[in-house]
Amino acid sequence: MGYSDQRFDVNLSILFTELPLLRRPAAAAAAGFTAVELWWPWTRTPTPARTELDALKKALDDAGTQLVGLNFYAGELPGPDRGALSLPGAESERFRANVEVAASFAAATGCRALNALYGNRVEGVDPALQDELALENLSLAARAAHDIGATLLVEALNGPESPRYPLLSAPAAIEVVDRVNEATGLGNAAFLLDLYHLSMNGEDLSQVIKAYAGRTGHVQIADNPGRGAPGTGSLPLEQLLDELTEAGYTGRVGLEYKPGDAPSQESFGWLPAGHRA
């Protein structure tokens, strides 16, 4: 079990970033991966030109890689921004403008998981008003995802790196999942269980898996400390993946770690080539 029992994909927004975006799918394929995921690639615009969308789709198709996860627009990532959907004013409007674009691209590429980062708290704005706006926009995103047969993912991040992000535990993210599903009646919102972020928050990962594996739509991993590849830190990731399997999780596991100073392709030595597809 463990690594050999999972289906892995590689996140092209944190791995292979030494290459231009359109060359990353081919690099992932050369490393043995057939599935990839992405944060919203156009960090400065929620509505890129059709030519840019088409070029990325062509790069994915030409490489023979399947896009299995995509973030909605969330501002500058990596960077201080953490989501736009709960930010009053222009950023919330940018998120709304992105919903149809992201869902359309997901439909065109066969992607069936869309991640919506909640959004940082804003000084001087009532958190309750931000939560109300978030529910409205998450419901919009959930409906767009439902229209293409996709799952809407809600993710908890970690306090040390994202102190103004309000979802800093698995229960906090699950609460939002429940609110969205109740508001829409669609039942297509699910938890994105990121073992790195939850470990940074000091959560009991085994207990989280037992409690929420059945509510989990996607899993992401990196080791801790350092957010490096498995084996570079102290997290018992192989054991935790076994526990996920035993708890009934059958989805993919996204590799969302920093490759270090070496080229990304050299960071996969922990995973036998035959288990990368």
Domain limits, the chain: 2-267
Calpha distance 241→221 (Å, rounded): 10
- Tell me the average pLDDT across 98-125: 97
Q: What is the mean pLDDT of the chain?
A: 96
User: CB within 8 A of 45, min separation 6: which ones?
Assistant: none
User: Rounded to whole angstroms, how far apart are CA atoms 85 and 140?
Assistant: 10
Would you state the CATH architecture of domain 2-267?
Answer: Alpha-Beta Barrel (3.20)
Residues designated catalytic: 155, 256
pLDDT beyond 80 at 51: yes
- Beta strands 35-38 and 8-11 are parallel
Angle CA(213)–CA(217)–CA(220) in degrees, nearest 5? 85
Of 116, 212, 210, 215, residue with least CA distance to 165: 116
What global pTM score does this model have?
A: 0.97
pLDDT band at 80 (very low <50, low <70, confident <90, very high): confident
Q: How is residue 100 written in tokens?
A: 């149809």
Beta pairing partners, 253: 8, 219
pLDDT in tens, 264-275: 999 999 998 877
- Averaged pLDDT for residues 63-72: 98
* H/E element, 43: none
The reported pLDDT for the residue numbered 15 is 98
Is the pLDDT assigned to residue 84 strictly greater than 70?
A: yes
